Every structure is written in structure tokens, then in C-alpha cells.
A and B are shown apart, each in its own frame.
Chain A
């Protein structure tokens, strides 16, 4: 047990700490505030404290726990809202009966008293490998929680029935020693959970957002960075992904962001219904909320807490999407703590280990074959928002993130200002998964998917070249064919790329709908080009009422996609008539 000798903000120093280990969790002061050792000098330890340190005095005690920073894993995680060090915010609110977060409150992350219906899958006497499913618990209507064997050995006993997470549900014998198995698992957060093998991602994460799915697809098990200035729509995009992506589980980390945004998720998700199962989306969601005004050290930890929980469900064989909003705030927390340690800073005051930490975090994404003898596959997709100062991505956090992520969705203030949402710049964004996923797209949606994408992209590229000319000489000076390109790309931008998150139908587009929409726009373009070739005036082409129908395609509900199927015929008919006149 040591004694505090210096307190200055979230970083404190204690002496007489010989024997304490790096990253050990300690209790600081009379109130026993939670902290973690981040530097050791002889018998002095530098500790980052996860709670406000006002009023703490030199001389107060510091007590080691001998444990690294860990989370509690087990049934009951889903639908919860935690702070950065996995304190349950709902339970704290009930316990303290306060609007605010008082410090020094200790509430277990999981309900240790609640009884869960455990169904044994293995039988007593069976040999089990680490990672095998011993039994299951229906955690929510959407998610079947799998209790995994923590070690190799022989199952000595196992029983179905109602248990708390602390009760032994099975006994495994390994090398003559018997070990109780409980549903509760304590997992250190700063180290990745083990898996058997990492695999290449081959399936897309279908987000229902046209610009993403069609042009910059994200793979299940992939990584995606969304840098953007404030107000460009990072959070709305993250919410849209959390709502509509076809993942089985969502871990949403509000890292140093606004309190009201977390409230929005909390109030909205229970009312949103999963399109496949008809159950509330909240049942597949876990929230980590360490808002900007909550202690900065806990913000640093929140990313690790979130990813560890995600890994736990991945190991059950689920596809998990993890949204981190925003990784810049996480990096800033590192910078703040680093600054108080008086470390030699790297670029822009960020610690020299920023790049390593970012890479380590994104590396915890991926599609894996899990431990265990049955073939189980799970994945974690990380979608990280980045908030570069002034929106300029030439800064350490954005640059180091882009080095390790495979999808870059470039949000742009200029697009957001003209209310082009989602405000992704289609020329600057990229996805390195397109080729990997094309097999899936051609098989599951349509064989000409890659062709359509390339065609549309080429037109948009052409548009930006033409725009430069237009800026000099005006649009009328262009040949009619090029004016037609501008008309088509305008339709691509307004009728396809733009998608309203707040429109009840437009908010989500299935792959089929996306495909049909793009096909119709490009088919119109092809027929219009042909019409110009036979001498029809551009003015007449542009005045065709069919063009307005393209603009209303968004509003066609998923149940009436046949309307969009039929449009091809209408387009042909309209152009045939135009040719005849």
C-alpha cells in the first residue's frame, strides 16, 4: 500500500509502491477511486485516475489490486449502457438516485443476482477443447449467448437450469485438477482475445447506404475510417450503420462525444425494429458512453472496453460491428495523459506511441475462425470516426488511421453545406475491398454490378473534369454529349448518392433497390446518348418526364421494387417514341 504525493488533474503520483506492476489497477485515496498505473519510477508509481480527483490530498492511501484493467463478460451485456471502464450507467442512476455521476460509486457491470436459463449442450464425461460451446443462454430475443469452455479437459459435470453468472454451471478436469466454470468471465482489456486463425474478409457489411454499398463497400471483418470536420455527418453515418447494417451485434462507443447523442441512441434504438427479425434493435446493441465531460482517463479506456466486449461475442461466432465515435477524442485523451506525464511529445503533441496504439486497435478487427473444435466463424468490423482539427486530414490521427484502415469515407464540409448527405466525396473516398467482394456482389445481386459501378464512377470522374471547363466557359459551350454527361451525373448525385437518413423509406436501400436505381439511371444515359447520335436535340431529351421519375425512385418502398424493375421498359418506350417523333 502506498501514499499519494502529488495530485494534478487526472494524473497522480504515489510513493511506497514497490511491487506494483505496470497497468495494474489501483484504488486511489480514501474514496477508493479507480486508477491504473501507467509509469513506474523506482518505488513511485504514476497513476491515471478514472474519476475526478478534486479534493484528494497528498498522504491519502493508494492500494494495489494485483489485477490489470478488466471487464466482466457474461449474459446481461446486451442492451446495457456503460461508461469507459464498464460501470453500468443505468444501475448507477438507480443506485445513487442522482442525475449526475458521483464519484467512488461501485456497481458491478453485470447483474450478479439475476438468474439465467442455462441449457447445456455438452454432456458430462465429454472431452472439451478451449472455446467449445458448453451451453447456451437466451440473452435477448435476438442473441443466443454461448458459454464457452475456458480450458481444455474433461467435462466432469454440467447441468441445465437457472443460474446466476457466479454459479458454477460445469466442472472441467484438466491434469487432475477440477475447475469450476461460471458464466462470468473476467477479461483484461488491453490484450486481444485469442482466436484460432485470422481469415480474409469475403462478405460485405450491407449498410443500406447506397454510396457505401455500391461504391465503397465495407467487408465484414474489415476496417473503415470516417474522417470529417464537425457538422459533416460523422455521427449520423455511424448511427445509420448501427441501425441498418446486417451485422448481428453492434457495440457503439461514444468516446468523448456529446451526451445528447448517446441519449438519442438510447431512446431511438428500442423503438427501431430489426428488419429481419422484427425485434427492437436495442436487443443487439451495447453502448459505451464516455461523453466529453466525463473523466479523460476513462475515455482512453473506453475503446479497449468496447473492443474486448466485441471480441467476446465474436468468439461465440457472431458478426459484430464496432462503431467508435470518435477515435480523435481517444487520441486526445492519450495526448492529455502523455502531456501530464511530461513525456517527450511526437507530432502535434501526440505521444510517440499514437501510431502503434491506433494500429493495435484496428488490428483487433477481422474475420476469424474461433477457438474450439467446431468450425465457428465470427467477425469484428471496426468503423472509426475521426475528427481532424479544421477538417484537414493532414494531421497525425487521420494519417495514422488511414495507414491501417482499408475503407476511407471522406466526409466533406462543402457537400454537407449544400445538404448533400451522406457528404462523402465520391472521388476521394476509397475501398480496398471492392475486388474481394465483387464475387459476392456478382453472385448475390447481379452479374453486371462491377460494370455498373465502374461506369458510374467513370461518369463522375468525367464530370469533375468537365466542371473545370464549365467554370471557364459556361455549360452552353460544351458539346451536347458532354452536357448530357453533366445532366446524368447530376442525376447520379441527387437521385442516387444523396440519401436522407431522416426519410422513412430512403433511410435504407436494399442491395436490389440500389442496383435497380443505378441501372435505371445508367440505362437512361445510354439511351439518351443513342438519341443524340441520331440527331435528337438535347433539350428534348432533358425535358422527358421519365427523368423526373428517376428522382422519385428513392421513395419507392422495398415492397414495391417491381416498379423499379419495370422502369427499364418505360425508359425504352419513352426513348423509342422520342426517336419516332
Chain B
């Protein structure tokens, strides 16, 4: 082990060490302060004679005379073991619950390696979250990465907890599952909300928690999600568990990334975020999936606050390009006191088609989802028109669309914080709402599905039609 006392420059979270030799890129570093305190760091640049080290934690107290830097000769590793379940750790993986460190069964590089695309398997197991807007319209499947785009003041934490509590697959077999929770720069209050909820639902003993809170060093936030994902990969691919990873809040991660880039005086990209943020984020989000020959899966549910409610801000924008869809929460719905305030129009689940349909959910799922979407979009458009010209100026059909949009929000979007709807309930509810629209408008659903699933909700109409038909026939006879 090499130890140096040759720090020449300290700037922000970076320390420059000179006269070093045999230092590797990304190697882990221990910094020993004159006070005896120990901090961790990582080599960002290894050059002949010098190394640039990023310190996890504050640089306060580090000096150029008495501080020793120890290069550990390996990249960041995490000792993993099934005993981690039920434990909580800090942002660098040290126990936070006062219990002794876990005995590692294996030590894994936290940066992971890229999954060989050939070894991936198509995610196809439907996860029922019990939330209509997700199950019905933006279905989550095992192995997917589906973030929640939210904004300050919205109930994203409640939603995440509800998903974690209710998520199940339809298959009858009991399969081992686990939750890995990474708090990245959130407040104590939020973190204790999660803890309390996990405890209440009994999920805590199946959970591994990594907590970097708002007053913890921001540079640690670069590592925290990676620890969570390393643990998740281990539990999934070596212990056959279905792992749900919740990371909150990814915006804090990106802020930390920007902080380091600024300290290194790198050429900034959009809004000061580094140009490689896309690549960096993908090294987190892509660590989800289902792989060939393994039973376990890693499903990612990141929470990300959109600064200024702006979905085109670089953080949500780049995330949306990497993840397999997004669940977007809307302030307008929240103001209307609708929970969960899922603004369905900009939502998307790219893997939905793999998880729905016959034998997975129900054969009419795709059609119903599309029809509800189209109907709600039309209704929303008409609202602004009705505001200008008044409802009376609209056609009968348009008024039906307006009513549909209102009922859709009040009945389909809105549900209780512990209301767990089955997929059948969700789809039937969809048909019930669609019964408020004329049948000729239902172009997205197959005709046979209207008969099979939708007819029972449109009884009156059918009678009316028959009457009309018969009266027409009478006329013809005359």
C-alpha cells in the first residue's frame, strides 16, 4: 500500500497529489487527516507523477502538510451478503443502524460492468401495482426502469411507497422479492417517512437501505445509487430474488455530478451539467433488467424532481431518453385534490406491450388503454374550447367527451392511498367510463372486445339502438 504526504492543491471536492507512482484510474483512496479522521476518495485522473482525487465528503480540515493519502490499489468495491436484508447503511455503505458490519460473502465492483445485450432477456412479467393509471395505461413489467417525474410539493413519496407495498405479479407462485432503497440527498423527514411506511407494511425486513441525507456529503451521492444497484444485482442474479430498486431523488445525484464537473473546470454542457451526463446516467439506469438463465430481476423506480416543473430540463430530458418510459405527476391534478396526481398524457411505458394482453393481463388491455387515452386527450382539448365558446356551442358528442374527461379524472385517476385495484377492476372501470361515449367513437377497441367486455356497461344504449332500428324498419315497411 502506497502512502503519500504530497498534496499540492485542494479545490472544492478535489485534491491534487503529486510525486505519486503506480496509481490507477478510478482507484479508491483513503485520506488520513492530521486529526486522525479518515475520508474516502476516488482517482479521477491518473497522470505521470500526479493524481487528481475526488473526496467523498467535505474537504474541510485537509491540508498540504500533515494529511496522508493512501492509494488502495482497487476500484470501489462493496461487500455483499444476503444478511444485508433488513439493514440500513450510509451513502458509502457503512452500517447506519448501529449494528456491526455484515460479513461479506462477495466483494463486487460498485461501478458494475455493462450487461452483454445478448444476455438480456425480454422483460414480460406484468407487475400489478394496484394503481389504475399505472396498471391500465402505463403497465410496469419486471426488469423495467420506470422513473416517476415529479416536482416539489407533490406526493411522489406516497406513490412510491404505495407501489412498493402493493406490487405483485399475477402468478400464483410465491417468489422471493426484495426492496433496495437508496436515498440520495433527501431530507430526514422524507427518509423517516419511507422508514415508517416500510416498517408498517412489514417490508423493512425484506429491504436494504442506503441513506445519504441532505446534510451528508454531496459527493457521496455519486456512489450511493451504485451501491444500491450492486446490491440489487447481487440479490437478483445470484440469489434469485425479484428486486425493486427505489432511488430518490435522482435530481440530487445530477447536482452532485455538476458540482464535481465544475470543480474540475470541465467544459459545461446544457445548464452547466457535464456533457457526459447522459452516459453517466445510463450507467445507473441500464442496470435494470432480466437476464438469460437467472430467475431474479432488477426493476428500477427512480424518483426525479423536475426543476421548475419543466420536463425539458436536462435532467428529466436525458432520463426520459434512457429509461423505458416515465410516470409524470401533475400539479394541476394535485390542486384538484386528486391522488395519485398522475398526469397520464405525458406518461409512457415502453415495455407495456410485452407485459399485457391475453394470458398476461387481458386481451382487450391495449385497446382499452388506447381508447381511454384518446378519449381523455380529446376531452382535455375540448375543455379549453368550451372555456372560450361555452358548452352549448359544442356538439352532443363533444359534450360527452367533456363529461368523460371529468369522470376519468374523478374515478380512474383518483384512488385511495391504500386502494389496491386488480387489473380486472381497472379494465372494467375503463369500459364503464367508455360507456359514456357513443359506440361509433370507439375506434381503438376491437369490435369483438366491445361485445365481450364493454357491452354489459352499455345496456341501455343497446336497447335504444334496437328500438331505433325497429322503428326504421317500420318506416321502411310503410
A contact set with B: CB distance below 8 Å: 5-9, 13, 52-59, 81, 89-90, 92-93, 98-103, 229-231, 235, 254, 256, 258-260, 262-264, 266-268, 289, 291-296, 329, 332, 335-336, 339, 342, 345, 348-349, 387, 389-392, 413, 416-420, 470-477, 494-495, 500, 502, 547-548, 551-552, 555
Query: Known interface pairs A390-B317, A418-B373. Does A551 touch B443 (Cβ–Cβ under 8 Å)?
Result: yes
B286 touches A (CB below 8 Å): yes
Query: Known interface pairs A7-B25, A418-B377, A494-B443. Does A259 touch B294 (Cβ–Cβ under 8 Å)?
Result: no
Query: Known interface pairs A54-B25, A413-B346, A494-B443. Does A391 touch B312 (Cβ–Cβ under 8 Å)?
Result: yes
Residues of B within 8 A of A102 (CB): 113
Query: Known interface pairs A93-B116, A267-B122, A474-B385. Does A332 touch B275 (Cβ–Cβ under 8 Å)?
Result: yes
Q: Which residue of A lies closest to B122 (CB)?
A: A267
Q: Which of B23, B282, B283, B388 contacts A471 (CB 8 A)?
A: B388
**6 pairs of residues in contact across A and B, judged by CB atoms under 8 Å:** A231-B326, A389-B270, A389-B312, A389-B317, A392-B312, A473-B393
B46 touches A (CB below 8 Å): yes
Q: How far is the CB of B26 from chain A (nearest CB, A)?
A: 4
Residues of A within 8 A of B115 (CB): 99-101, 259, 293
- B113, B279, B286, B377, most chain A CB atoms within 10 A: B279
Q: How far is the CB of B362 from chain A (nearest CB, A)?
A: 15
- A55, A101, A476, A547, most chain B CB atoms within 10 A: A55
A390 near B48 with CB under 8 A, answer no
Residues of A within 8 A of B383 (CB): none
Q: Which residue of A lies closest to B43 (CB)?
A: A7
A93 near B289 with CB under 8 A, answer no
Residues of chain B in range 27-52 having any CB-CB distance to chain A below 8 Å: 27, 44-49, 52
B117 near A262 with CB under 8 A, answer yes
A101 near B394 with CB under 8 A, answer no
B116 near A475 with CB under 8 A, answer no
Alpha-carbon separation in the docked complex, A336 to B384 (Å):
44
A53 near B286 with CB under 8 A, answer no
B22 near A57 with CB under 8 A, answer yes
Q: Which of B112, B278, B370 contacts A332 (CB 8 A)?
A: B278
Chain B interface mostly helix, strand, loop or mixed?
mixed
Q: How far is the CB of B321 from chain A (nearest CB, A)?
A: 5
Query: Known interface pairs A99-B294, A258-B322, A260-B122. Does A59 touch B21 (Cβ–Cβ under 8 Å)?
Result: yes
Alpha-carbon separation in the docked complex, A52 to B370 (Å):
43
Residues of chain B in range 267-307 having any CB-CB distance to chain A below 8 Å: 267-270, 275-276, 278-279, 282-283, 286-287, 289, 291-292, 294
Residues of B within 8 A of A392 (CB): 312
Alpha-carbon separation in the docked complex, A335 to B294 (Å):
37
Residues of A within 8 A of B119 (CB): 93, 98-100
Residues of B within 8 A of A548 (CB): 440
Given A54-B25, A99-B115, A389-B270, 19 further pairs, Cβ under 8 A: A8-B52, A54-B111, A57-B24, A58-B23, A89-B118, A92-B116, A260-B144, A260-B289, A267-B121, A293-B283, A332-B275, A342-B267, A348-B269, A387-B321, A389-B312, A418-B378, A419-B370, A471-B385, A474-B393
B374 touches A (CB below 8 Å): yes
B120 near A262 with CB under 8 A, answer yes
Residues of A within 8 A of B45 (CB): 6-8
Alpha-carbon separation in the docked complex, A548 to B442 (Å):
10
A89 near B117 with CB under 8 A, answer yes
Residues of A within 8 A of B377 (CB): 417-419
Q: How far is the CB of A282 from chain B (nearest CB, A)?
A: 13
Q: How far is the CB of A517 from chain B (nearest CB, A)?
A: 14
- A13, A296, A417, most chain B CB atoms within 10 A: A417
B56 touches A (CB below 8 Å): no
A7 near B47 with CB under 8 A, answer yes
B312 near A259 with CB under 8 A, answer no
Q: Which of A54, A230, A263, A342 contacts B26 (CB 8 A)?
A: A54
Alpha-carbon separation in the docked complex, A420 to B381 (Å):
14
A231 near B325 with CB under 8 A, answer yes
Q: How far is the CB of A373 from chain B (nearest CB, A)?
A: 41
B134 touches A (CB below 8 Å): no
B351 touches A (CB below 8 Å): yes
Residues of B within 8 A of A258 (CB): 286, 322, 324, 350
Q: How far is the CB of B60 from chain A (nearest CB, A)?
A: 26
B431 touches A (CB below 8 Å): no
Q: Which of A54, A59, A293 contacts B48 (CB 8 A)?
A: A59
Alpha-carbon separation in the docked complex, A306 to B136 (Å):
39
Query: Known interface pairs A260-B122, A418-B378, A471-B388. Does A58 touch B393 (Cβ–Cβ under 8 Å)?
Result: no
B113 near A296 with CB under 8 A, answer no
Q: Which residue of A lies closest to B144 (CB)?
A: A260
Alpha-carbon separation in the docked complex, A471 to B378 (Å):
14
- A90, A260, A472, most chain B CB atoms within 10 A: A260
Alpha-carbon separation in the docked complex, A132 to B238 (Å):
54
Q: Which residue of B lies closest to A483 (CB)?
A: B395
Alpha-carbon separation in the docked complex, A502 to B20 (Å):
59
Residues of B within 8 A of A470 (CB): 385
B170 touches A (CB below 8 Å): no
A291 near B114 with CB under 8 A, answer yes
B353 touches A (CB below 8 Å): yes
Q: How far is the CB of A537 from chain B (nearest CB, A)?
A: 14
Q: Which residue of A lies closest to B310 (CB)?
A: A390
Q: How far is the CB of B239 from chain A (nearest CB, A)?
A: 14
A7 near B116 with CB under 8 A, answer no
Q: Which of A263, A294, A332 contacts B122 (CB 8 A)?
A: A263
B104 touches A (CB below 8 Å): no
Alpha-carbon separation in the docked complex, A419 to B353 (Å):
14
Q: Which of B25, B48, B345, B446 contacts A56 (CB 8 A)?
A: B25
Alpha-carbon separation in the docked complex, A31 to B111 (Å):
19
B75 touches A (CB below 8 Å): yes
Residues of B within 8 A of A473 (CB): 389, 393
Query: Known interface pairs A5-B48, A339-B266, A476-B393. Does A291 touch B291 (Cβ–Cβ under 8 Å)?
Result: no
Q: How far is the CB of B172 from chain A (nearest CB, A)?
A: 25
Alpha-carbon separation in the docked complex, A81 to B116 (Å):
11
> Per-residue CB proximity of B348-365 to A under 8 Å, as 1/0?
101101100000000000
B430 touches A (CB below 8 Å): no
Q: Which residue of B lies closest to A500 (CB)?
A: B370
Alpha-carbon separation in the docked complex, A31 to B87 (Å):
38
Q: Which residue of A lies closest to B312 (CB)?
A: A390
B123 touches A (CB below 8 Å): yes
Alpha-carbon separation in the docked complex, A474 to B390 (Å):
8
Query: Known interface pairs A55-B26, A293-B286. Does A101 touch B113 (Cβ–Cβ under 8 Å)?
Result: yes
Q: Which residue of A lies closest to B349 (CB)?
A: A231
Q: How far is the CB of A166 from chain B (nearest CB, A)?
A: 25
B70 touches A (CB below 8 Å): no
Alpha-carbon separation in the docked complex, A9 to B370 (Å):
45
Alpha-carbon separation in the docked complex, A101 to B283 (Å):
13
Alpha-carbon separation in the docked complex, A12 to B123 (Å):
37
Residues of A within 8 A of B225 (CB): none
Query: Known interface pairs A258-B322, A474-B385. Does A100 touch B345 (Cβ–Cβ under 8 Å)?
Result: no
> Per-residue CB proximity of B210-221 to A under 8 Å, as 1/0?
000000000000
Q: Which of B112, B121, B279, B440 contacts A292 (CB 8 A)?
A: B279
Closest 3 CB pairs of A and B: A390-B312, A418-B377, A292-B282
Residues of B within 8 A of A54 (CB): 24-26, 75, 109, 111
Residues of A within 8 A of B266 (CB): 339
Q: Which residue of A lies closest to B286 (CB)?
A: A293
Residues of A within 8 A of B326 (CB): 231
Alpha-carbon separation in the docked complex, A413 to B321 (Å):
13
Q: How far is the CB of B118 from chain A (nearest CB, A)?
A: 4
B320 touches A (CB below 8 Å): yes
B332 touches A (CB below 8 Å): no
Q: Which residue of B lies closest to A290 (CB)?
A: B117
Alpha-carbon separation in the docked complex, A262 to B44 (Å):
32
Query: Known interface pairs A100-B115, A392-B312. Does A55 touch B74 (Cβ–Cβ under 8 Å)?
Result: yes
Q: Which residue of B lies closest to A395 (CB)?
A: B270
Residues of A within 8 A of B291 (CB): 99
Q: Which of B48, B279, B325, B388 contacts A296 (CB 8 A)?
A: B279
